[in-house]
Each structure stands twice: as C-alpha cells, then as structure tokens.
Chains A and B, each alone.
Chain A
Amino acid sequence: MMRTFWAVLVVVAAIVLFWYAAAVPMNIKTALTQAEREGAVISPEGAAARRDMSAIALSLANPAQWGDTLVQDKPRLPTPDQVAVELWQTSGAMVLKGRAFSKRSLLFHGWVTLSATLLGFGIGTVLGILLAVGIVHSRVMDMSVMPWAIVSQTIPIIALAPMIIVVLYSVGVQGIIPKAIISAYLSFFPVVVGMVKGLRSPDSMQLDLLRTYNASTSQGFWKLRLPSSLPYLFASLKVAIAASLVGAIVGELPTGAVSGLGARLLAGSYYGQTIQIWSALFAAAILAALLVGILGMIERLLLRRMGVVA
C-alpha cells in the first residue's frame, strides 16, 4: 500500500515537473516578443528572425526569460500553479466572499452541468434497467432489440447531440432538458448491455435450485437475478455516468450556452482564455472522479451488506 502510494506520488510529481518544463518552450515566443518590446536583449533579435526557429532552441538561447514564460496572462500552456490559482479563485475564494453561485463561479457552472448529468443519468439508468428486464424475460425483445443495443456501443451516437439541442430549441424546450436527454441516451445503452449480462449471470445450478423450490418468475427475479446482477450493473453505471457527463458537456457546445462547464470551455477557446479552459477541464475531471468515486462507494457498501466479500 505504502509502496504504491510513493510510486503514484513520484509519477504525479514527474508529470507536474514535465508540465513546468514544457511550459517554457510552449510560451517562449510571446515571452521573448514581450521582453524585447520592454528593452531586454534577446538572441536572435527581431520577431521575424525567431519565427522559424524551434521553441526549444529559443528557450536554450534565452534562459533569462524563462521566468516570464510561467506568469503570462494568456499562455499557450498555463502552469499548474496558474490553473490551481484560477480554480481556487473561481470556487473556494468565491465561497468565502459569499458569492458561491455568481456567474463567474465554477461551482455555478459545475452545478449546471452536474444537474443535467444526474437527471439524464437517472432517466437513462431507469429506462435501461427496465429494457434489460424486458429483454431477459421476453425472447422476442431479446432477439430484436439486443443486437441493436450492442451495435449502438460501436457508433458515435454523441454526433446526435447538436441536433437534439437545436430541434428541441425550435419547439421551445431549452435549459436542462435537452442536455439531460443527451446524457440519458448516452448512459442508456451501457446500462442495458451490462444489466442484461448481470441478470443472466446466475448459472443453471442456481436457477435449478429455485425451480426445485417451486419459485415463481418474480421470486426468481427479486431473490436471485437482481442481487446477482448488481456487480455488473455497477460496472456499467460507472461507464454510464462518465458518458453522461461528456454528453452534458458536449450538449452545451452547439447553442453557445452561457452556463455550464462546456460553455466555459467554448468561451475560453473563443477568447483565447487558456487558463479558463484548463480550469474548466480540471473542474470536469474532478467532477467525473467524484461521481465515479461515489458510485464505487455505494457499490462497496451495498455489496458488503449483501455479504459479498470484495
């Protein structure tokens, strides 16, 4: 356990170091132009002479400007501390000021995206479980729907997202619902496939045992199939919630939405606010990690209550 912890720590530290090292050549050209304008001596002189030089050669020739590369307003690659400061200023610092949900707060944008994600995830999961139950109990449904559910995993259904947003907008539905629909259909298919697999996981020995007890279909469902499907269900729920989040973020792109993490990404890329893009990206990553983590915790608690040693 300790060894793993140290190894992870070293790898993360190496990534952060590499990130800082990469920020120098990535940002060196603007830093040099700026420094030359302020009268510093740069080799070689003149932006035209530097245009075709490689960024690494420029960095090695001008070690005095390295400091400038790490503190720019609109860097090509912001440093980890710039991103961390931005994250803090748009979340924790705003809470301290009592404006946790102002328009500039990432908490506000995160909540907009999270609410659509959760609503869609809920709808998709419920419908997915219902369809899976139908598939397991009806041979016609199994044969006609299941192949399509499997094929749907291999096609980029997210391409439907912009159309759904615009079509629903034209019939007057906007806000959280269109995004939730995208999240719902992205989480729907993984849940169907995983749940069908789970409901079918009891082996013939266990099914035979229930038959010797003269158990009805519904008893078999509640007492055997459903409990034994839970590990499969949770595995696909984790995939589904990550997909839901991506769906909600992508759903915010096409209409130029003003709120939500996707809107922050889009606005940042329009105005070249790289620090804003990176902080939105990290906010999305933290959100995804939290959601998957919470699901994992529920899974562990539930399985322990059921007596599964995991």
Chain B
Amino acid sequence: MMELVLALLIWAAGWGLNAWLARSAVSETRAVQFLVPFIFGATLVLVWEMVVRGLNVPMVILPAPSVIAMRFASSLPILWVDFVQTFLKGALGGYVIGCAAAFLVAILVDRYDFLRRGLLPVGNFVAALPIVGTAPILVMWFGFDWQSKAAVVVVMVFFPMLVNTVAGLREASAMQRDLMQTYAASYGQAFFKLRLPAAMPFIFNGLKISTTLALIGAIVAEFFGSPTLGMGFRISTSVGQLALDMVWAEIVVAALAGSAFYGVVALVEKAVTFWHPSQRA
C-alpha cells in the first residue's frame, strides 16, 4: 500500500516539476529541453518499480526495473555474445551489403530512364510489403547462422534505400545540370560534384530508415531458427522459460543498439550535409 501511495506522489512530483520547468523562463535552454524528457522517463521507471512492488506483480508478468537492471549487470557476457551475433554480424553485415547494393542499383536505374520508369513503381510497391515474411525462406537457404539473418536484412533495407537514392539523384535542378553542361563536365564529374552531394539528404534518409529495419529483420529472423545465441533467440527461449527479466534485458540492449545505430548515422549525416537548410537551423 505504501508503495502505491509513493508511486502516486512520485508521479505528481515528476509531472509538477516538468510543468514548472516547461512554463519557466529557462524552458528554451538546451539543458531543460534535455532534462524534461529525462525526468519524465525517470518518473515512469520509478512508478513502474513502486507499482510492481506495491501490487506484488509476479515476475512472470512484469519484472521490476531494479530486477531487470540486476539481471542486465549479471549477464553482461551473454548479452555481449548475443549482441555480436545479432547486431554486429547479422544486422550490420546485412545493412552494409544491402545499402551498398541498393546504392549501386540506384545509379544504374538513374542512368537508364527505362529502368527508372519500370523499377521504381515496383520498388515502391515492395517497400510497403511485410518483407520479414521472407525470413523462413532465407533461413532455409542460408542456414541457421548469421548469414541468413544478414540476407533477411539485405532484402529489407534494399528497397527503401533504392527508392530514396533514386529520388535523391534527381534532386539537382535543371538549372544546376545546365551549368554543369556549359562547363562541359563529363557524366562522372557532374555525378560526383553535383548530383551525389545533392542526393546526400535523401541517401541519409534511406540510411536512417534502414537502421531500424536492419535490427527488426535480424531479430525477427531468429524466431525462425538460429544457433543457440542471438538476441531474437534469447528473447524467444527466455519467454518460453518465463525468465522475463532476461527478455527485458535483451530489449534494453536492442533499444540501446537501435538508438545508438541511428544516432551514429545521424551524426555522419550532420557532418556530410552540413550545407543543407535542415542542418543549419
């Protein structure tokens, strides 16, 4: 009972603090912009902890954050091995191959108008389909190890990346292209000096969308069969053993890996497309 009252108090205090911060004069500063969501998140975690303790929620339904944190700290080696298997080998391997292949195909598609007409609608169509469904087929073809997960990721990231890159390569305006022509620039010169830089915001958009897809693909593919390691494998077996603290620990890893991956790509984008209006704000 005590804990439930405490949970209510914490919630009220956190929300009140945020309301005060948001209305205060310093609400536009960077520190506060960062602090407010942090307080909100911390409040949620504390309330979660108190409610789980107060109601004696069994661990097979919802473990308390402290239990998850302890499990996380005590099984770092397992989590690391799973992370290497699923993220570094499966997701990252497939991401690099898939994005590179899509980029090269996009250059071809852009070069030949016929391909652009024909392949782009097909690509747009495929990009909206539930491609994770190919996982059982690819697991059958490439075996249980990370190669099949990388293959799923390749298929998942290929079309979003292709569509974005092709759209980007058409971004340079007719005026700019004409200017290149008056300079007697070759295709290669115009490509590297004008069209590729102009395409960068679109390419990075594709790269950013693909980061999330890559992790989803690698994790879901492991539900269809994997060696005895990997984040998806650990999640599905731990769920079977009702070891939910382990499941949550893996989810924390997945969340950290996903946002770090996205963050790194966004940082590179900032460095490459520093000239773009959206980055100069």
Interface residues of chain A, those whose CB is within 8 Å of chain B, are: 3-4, 7-12, 15, 76, 139-140, 142-148, 151, 153-156, 158-160, 162-163, 166-167, 170-171, 238, 242, 245-246, 249-250, 253-254, 261, 265-266, 268-269, 272, 274, 277-278, 280-281, 284-285, 288-289, 292
Contacts and interface: CB of A to CB of B under 8 A. Distances in A.
B137 interface: yes
24 contacts: A9-B118, A11-B115, A76-B140, A139-B27, A140-B19, A140-B22, A143-B36, A147-B37, A154-B211, A155-B215, A155-B254, A156-B254, A158-B220, A162-B235, A166-B239, A166-B242, A170-B61, A170-B242, A171-B61, A238-B128, A253-B220, A266-B224, A269-B139, A281-B133
A143 B37 contact: yes
B235 A159 contact: yes
B187 interface: no
Which 7 A-B pairs give the minimum distances between C-beta atoms?
Answer: A7-B118, A269-B136, A144-B40, A11-B118, A7-B117, A154-B262, A155-B258
Contacts of B212: 153-156
B114 A285 contact: no
Contacts, number: 165
B39 interface: yes
A265 B138 CA distance: 12
B39 A144 contact: yes
Given A143-B37, A148-B40, A274 B224 contact: no
Interface residues of B, number: 65
Contacts of B41: 148
A137 B43 CA distance: 22
A140 B18 contact: yes
A191 B220 CA distance: 23
Given A140-B15, A159-B231, A250-B223, 15 more contacts: A10-B114, A140-B22, A143-B21, A153-B212, A154-B259, A155-B215, A155-B255, A156-B255, A158-B220, A242-B128, A249-B133, A265-B136, A269-B224, A281-B137, A292-B128
B130 interface: yes
B35 to A, nearest CB: 9
B137 A11 contact: no
B133 A163 contact: no
B130 A288 contact: yes
Nearest to B21: A143
A288 B21 CA distance: 44
Contact of A8 (B118, B135, B136, B250): B118
A10 B130 contact: no
B121 interface: yes
Nearest to A242: B128
B254 A7 contact: no
B48 to A, nearest CB: 14
Interface of B: 15, 18-19, 21-23, 27, 32-33, 36-37, 39-41, 60-62, 114-115, 117-119, 121-122, 125, 128-130, 132-137, 139-141, 211-212, 215-216, 219-220, 223-225, 231-232, 235-236, 239-240, 242, 244, 247-248, 250-251, 254-255, 258-259, 261-263
A279 to B, nearest CB: 11
A285 B130 contact: yes
B114 A7 contact: yes
Contacts of B37: 143-148
A288 B219 CA distance: 21
A3 to B, nearest CB: 6
A268 B60 contact: no
B118 A250 contact: no
Contact of A245 (B130, B211, B235): B130
Scoring A4, A146, A166 by chain B CB atoms within 10 A of each residue's CB, the highest score goes to: A166
